[in-house]
Structure 1
């Protein structure tokens, strides 16, 4: 019997281990799948904390249902009956700018009526079809792309807040083609974003007329989806499906080396195991440490992937204490506004069962790549700063009835300029190590959907390698 070891019990590792078992059975391959996790629980950054009737997400709060892999994984694992779709409020998103919460426009008329972007800024945006297509070979930053195609105001008020909301990143350092490859493809294929939208809209209309199934090609699309008990339900279900016998907790993998009776040897603080395939579903910096002795070149490239810090602050209030309407997803804040937080999600407006009856739950994000020093603020200072921002932005004068503060020193990998080149280097060097596979959010997408898609690829690759041995 062959053995595959998955290191890391976050969503990437759990999905990979589960899919490995399923695909091995389908292929008639006798395979022992083992998952090693250094913490005393599985889930990684997915953790749904229930306290006094509030449900606080330590990390991500869901996934968009427009990608098939995660929904299919839920169906395979028997979790689809427990899915919880977000309320219609999730479509309404805001930007705080110049002292006002502006709803993000969803169409042409609402864009023209919006006061978020000034008329000179709107005119600059309207000139986008006239901007020449990018011909450079340098890996363009998101900031450079935004200024070039959309103008400085759109960069400050639209692109930069979006980047901080998704990546907790700095657009001045983030790579366009690594963070948003579809946008780079649209410019390359159609010469511009507005041109692409027009041509894709025509194609969609034609496809509908011809009875073809179509999907949105430009926006994120989809409905934000979670579980009634929080997104941790997904990782708990996967862990249970893999089975207690296959999951080992509280085991720190120290390094991966060449094996004697099998291609690889996984060395941990508990001993050594040999394996025919090893999948490292761990953060880039942790993976680098494990591979230092096996391949110093790969380790060096992995260590070049930086991470942003993040402090997550959950505040619970009695509903009557908040005078403003909470019909929406929440808001993001441009850096130029000088606030302490990156934005706030109105969690109890997005999903039911997130706060006790008559209460609301707000979740604010602080830090990111632009403010890494905030991770060191004491809890009292964090609460003070968040309260100050909520007072200014939402008019909340009362202290919260419920507070939870979570710190992530290395929260989100940053796909900075040169990321694609680093990945190409990793792929080239990995050819010398068949059966050694890297997966997770450090490489080609940070979202839950991205992690599940990567787990599909990793499990396919592992099965193929095992078949050929």
Structure 2
């Protein structure tokens, strides 16, 4: 029997342990899998907090159903019937600019009528097919790409808010190929994003007529999906099916060394544990500390992956005290608007069961890579800034009757320029350390679908490694 230790009890570690148990059984390999989590609870950044009839998401609030990875995981867990799709209102998304919330256009006619982008900005966008594609293969920032292909206004009002909404990141430092590889591929293949969208739309129409389907050029799309009692249901189900004999909480890993009788030895404050395979599903900064004693160069590369801080603020209101029509997903704010928040989600409009009857739940985000100091603000200052922005954007003057503030000093990994080279360096270092595997959202995608895909891939790699020994 082979001993496997998974370090980290977030979605990545839990899903990897679950996938590995199943794939090991299919391959006829006897495995003893243990997952170690330093906190007293599992779930990592996934935490659905239920208080006073409100359901506040501490971290992510769901996943898109346009990719199969998380849906497949839920199916294997027997949890598909418990999934909750977001309200149709969630398709309506807004950008705050020019003193008003402007709906993000979903098609050509809506774009032409939209006041989000000025006519000069629209004309600049229309020139995109005539912009030569970049051929040097250099790792380009999202800001550089946006200015080059779409223009400054599109960068400020479309790309920058999207980057802050997904990564809490700064487009001036984020890598296009690491963050949005599909967009880079479209330029490489078609020379133009608009040309790609037209050709892929035509292809999709043809293949749909033949009973097939292709991805949209505009992105993954899909419907935001969660559970009635919050996305934490997913990690709770994983932990329940793995069982208490597999999942050990309150057990930090402080170091890693080569073993004597087996390849690896993990150090904890109470005991040393030998293992044939070690899977580190911890954040990059934590993983750096664990591997520092066995590979200083790997630890250095891991330490170069920065994280953005984030403060999440949940406000609950009596619905009658808000005059604004909350028929939508919420809005993002370009940093050029000079506001305090990155944006606000209308959580009780996105999913049912997020607020008591007759009340609404709004969730605002502050900080990110552009405003790292905001995570240090006092509760009073945070509330004052959020209230000021809600008054400016939606005319809300009432005081919330429910307030919760969650701080994340190291919230989201930042795939800055050079991230691809860092991944290549990590892969090279790991190849010299057989039986050691890295997984999680620090590397090839931050969303739940990305984590589920990485878990599946890591489990395959571990099985292949054990079969090859």
Classify the TM-score, shorter chain. Answer: over 0.9
Distance 1:288 1:158 in 2: 35
Conserved? CA contact 1:316–1:362, under 8 Å = yes
Conserved? CA contact 1:3–1:277, under 8 Å = yes
Q: Secondary structure at the match of 2:194?
A: helix
* Deviation by residue 1:420-461 (Cα, 9 ceiling, x = unmatched): 000001101111011110000000000011000000111111
- TM-superposed CA distance for 1:26, in Å, is 1.4
Distance 1:280 1:212 in 2: 38
* Deviation by residue 1:54-98 (Cα, 9 ceiling, x = unmatched): 000000000000111110100111111110000001100000001
Q: Secondary structure at the match of 1:162?
A: helix
1:459 aligned partner: 459
Give RMSD over aligned pairs. Answer: 0.8
- TM-superposed CA distance for 1:214, in Å, is 3.2
Question: Which sections of structure 2, spanning at least 5 residues, go unmatched?
Answer: none
Distance 1:279 1:328 in 2: 40
2:247 aligned partner: 247
Q: Secondary structure at the match of 1:400?
A: coil
Conserved? CA contact 1:14–1:235, under 8 Å = yes
1:220 aligned partner: 220
Distance 2:69 2:170 in 1: 29
Question: Which has the larger displacement, 310-319 or 205-214?
Answer: 205-214
1:325 aligned partner: 325
Correspondence 1:29-428 to 2 at 5 A: 29-428=29-428
Distance 1:323 1:88 in 2: 21
- TM-superposed CA distance for 1:217, in Å, is 4.1
- TM-superposed CA distance for 1:216, in Å, is 2.6
- TM-superposed CA distance for 1:121, in Å, is 0.2
Question: Which sections of structure 1, spanning at least 5 residues, go unmatched?
Answer: none
Distance 1:212 1:138 in 2: 35
Question: Which has the larger displacement, 65-74 or 400-409?
Answer: 65-74
Q: Secondary structure at the match of 1:50?
A: strand
- TM-superposed CA distance for 1:306, in Å, is 0.3
TM-score normalised by length of structure 2: 0.99
Conserved? CA contact 2:314–2:362, under 8 Å = yes
Q: Secondary structure at the match of 1:293?
A: coil
1:9 aligned partner: 9
- TM-superposed CA distance for 1:359, in Å, is 0.2
Conserved? CA contact 2:170–2:369, under 8 Å = yes
Distance 1:23 1:309 in 2: 36
Distance 2:444 2:219 in 1: 18
* Number of matched pairs: 469
Distance 1:305 1:59 in 2: 20
* Deviation by residue 1:207-252 (Cα, 9 ceiling, x = unmatched): 1233323333432211100000100000000000101011111011
* Deviation by residue 1:251-285 (Cα, 9 ceiling, x = unmatched): 11011111111111111112111111110000000
- TM-superposed CA distance for 1:331, in Å, is 0.1
Q: Secondary structure at the match of 2:369?
A: coil
Q: Secondary structure at the match of 2:245?
A: helix
Conserved? CA contact 1:182–1:218, under 8 Å = no
Conserved? CA contact 2:196–2:217, under 8 Å = no
Distance 1:212 1:311 in 2: 43
Distance 2:42 2:298 in 1: 27
TM-score normalised by length of structure 1: 0.99
Distance 2:137 2:276 in 1: 40
Distance 1:217 1:427 in 2: 30
Distance 1:468 1:415 in 2: 33
Q: Secondary structure at the match of 1:244?
A: coil
Distance 1:353 1:433 in 2: 47
Conserved? CA contact 2:204–2:213, under 8 Å = no
Conserved? CA contact 1:173–1:417, under 8 Å = yes
Q: Secondary structure at the match of 1:253?
A: coil
Q: Secondary structure at the match of 2:9?
A: coil
